[in-house]
Amino acid sequence: MLPLAGIRVIELGQNLAGPFASEILGTLGAHVVKVERPEGDDARGWGPPFHDGAACTFQTMNRGKQSIALDLKNPKALDWLREHIGEYDVLVQNLRPGVMEKMGLSAEVLRAKYPKLIYCSLWAFGAKGPMKLNPGYEPVIQAFAGMFSVNGAAGEKPSRFGAQVLDLGTGVWAALGCLAALYRRAQTGEGATVDASLFETAMGWLTVHFAGFNKTGVQAERHRTGNPRVVVFQAFDTLDGEIVIAAANDRLFAKLAKELGHPEWAQQYPTNADRYAAKPTLIPALAEVIATCPTAEWVQRLEALDIPCSPINDLRGVAAEPQTEAMGIFQEPPGLGLKLVGLPISLDGARPTARSKAPTIGQHNAELGVPSFD
């Protein structure tokens, strides 16, 4: 039995962060009902590509859920929803800041009415402060929080992280907060208000950068593939491509130096601090040797020495890797005909799977007893 079996979640979510939080809970066993506008979640149209009537983005964020369509501008529909929220253990919402309050569905109102309710909000900038009511999307918050400033190559313009690290990361934090609140409720019978935001997630991802900045006041350097503190920890050109080498401690560097035909480097640069100081000359010297052999040869040689390394894969390369197959990370929800990345966690050696594909708009109105409000 999945750990959240019996838990009921109602989602007033859109786009990515909120839907991902409730999808995590659903894949772990909770029954999730998604409340959509009659025209549906905007993410249904976030394509191409599209599959089974909706964008692939929507398919991967909303598998395993039921959908009810409600026009919450209609007072009768809003009253119906307000009276039925008490049937759920968790409410997850990431509507535009202020909307839930205008509808009389704030945490204060609903938790007063339903004391056991766990009310989870996902914000752009946070649950308080002068920007509380500001809307925001992934690239806006990445820019605001300083993530652009540490990404990209030195000497070039800052760049965005390519994956939705804030949307999905905030979904993870929100789900974690809900789990903690459920645990506390099991002990006390008391609900909770859980808040997470894209801005806080960004600050969390930058915790190491800010530790250095708060110590020195110096902006972290940007490295296309490397690390501002650890040497050797970056990509190098090979004879036919690139390889990332992470000789991140003194022992690994000594092995690398010997394999590259320069064992004396281990004596010249015995510590990371030594290698960091010598980086302007050491990295070019390493690069000169590494450029003489093909990527596959370096991977074979370095893996034999247990030196962490990898070619720079594209998505096709990752999908074809035997490790990807062995982990069973791709899953196909029933009836969808599309492989999606599963939840990145296993329980007792098995990865939880979505029990159904993403719903159509209002697919479960009749099943869940939603009346017509015409």
- Residues identified as active-site: 167
Nearest residue to 9 (alpha-carbon basis) of 32, 26, 36:
32
Among candidate residues 131, 128, 167, the one with its CA nearest the CA of residue 147: 167
Q: Which residue type sits at 278?
A: A
Q: 310 forms bridges with which residues in the sheet?
A: 244
Between helix 17-27 and helix 165-188 the angle, nearest 10°, is: 50
Residue with the two structure tokens 């900038």:
125
Query: Which residues is 309 bridged to in the sheet?
Result: 245
Distance of CA 267 to the CA centre of its chain: 41
Task: Quote the tokens at residue 130.
Answer: 């002068």
CA 66 and chain centroid, separation: 22
Residue (of 129, 163, 148, 178) closest to 30 by Cα position: 178
Closest CA to 68 of 85, 51, 48: 85
- Burial pattern 198-227, b for ≥16 Cβ within 10 A else e, equals bbbbbbebbeebeeeeeeeeeebebbeebb
- Amino acid type, 352: P
